[in-house]
Amino acid sequence: MISELFLACLVTVMVETALFWLFGYRGRDEIIVVVCTNVITNLLLNLVLSGIFFSVWGWMIVLGELVVIAVETAVYTYAFGRFGKVLALTAAANVLSVLIGLLLLTGTRAVLIPWKESVV
């Protein structure tokens, strides 16, 4: 489970930091805020999801990601301003990191607990 959590967190930080960088958030402090916020929200969400059974997992990840988007948007708006741009970028970054995480972890499902989904 630890390796899946680490991989999910690493993918999220890489994808979302890259997307923020592409949209002009390149300062040292901006990158630190994005990385730290993503590490915290990703690990918390995945620790919560790790105890949820397959049948409700899909809905819980959607709800969890909405909470993560709200928290990250609040942090980024406080740090950077520009609520509308930050909200759109945060939503896009989270959707992209979930999709990439699912694609990367699809091949590892056989070694995970069979009645649970992968942690992403």
State how far the Cα of 31 lies from the Cα of 28, in Å rounded to an integer.
Answer: 5
Which DSSP string do the residues of the chain spell out, in sequence order?
-HHHHHHHHHHHHHHHHHHHHHTT--SHHHHHHHHHHHHHHHHHHHHHHTTS-HHHHHHHHHHHHHHHHHHHHHHHHHHH--HHHHHHHHHHHHHHHHHHHHHHHGGGGGGS-TTSPPP-
Residue 111 banded pLDDT, cuts 50, 70, 90: very low
- Give the residue from 52, 73, 44 showing the smallest Cα distance to 118: 52
Residue 19 banded pLDDT, cuts 50, 70, 90: very high
pTM of the complete model = 0.61
**Structure confidence by residue, pLDDT tens digits, 69-104:** 999 999 999 999 989 999 999 999 988 888 787 777
Q: Per-residue pLDDT averaged across 26-45, rounded? A: 91
**Structure confidence by residue, pLDDT tens digits, 37-54:** 999 888 888 777 766 555
- Give the residue from 67, 65, 82 showing the smallest Cα distance to 25: 82
Domain map of the chain by residue range? 2-111
For 118, the token pair is 């992968």
pLDDT for residue 21 is more than 60? yes
* Residue of 16 and 62 predicted with greater confidence: 16
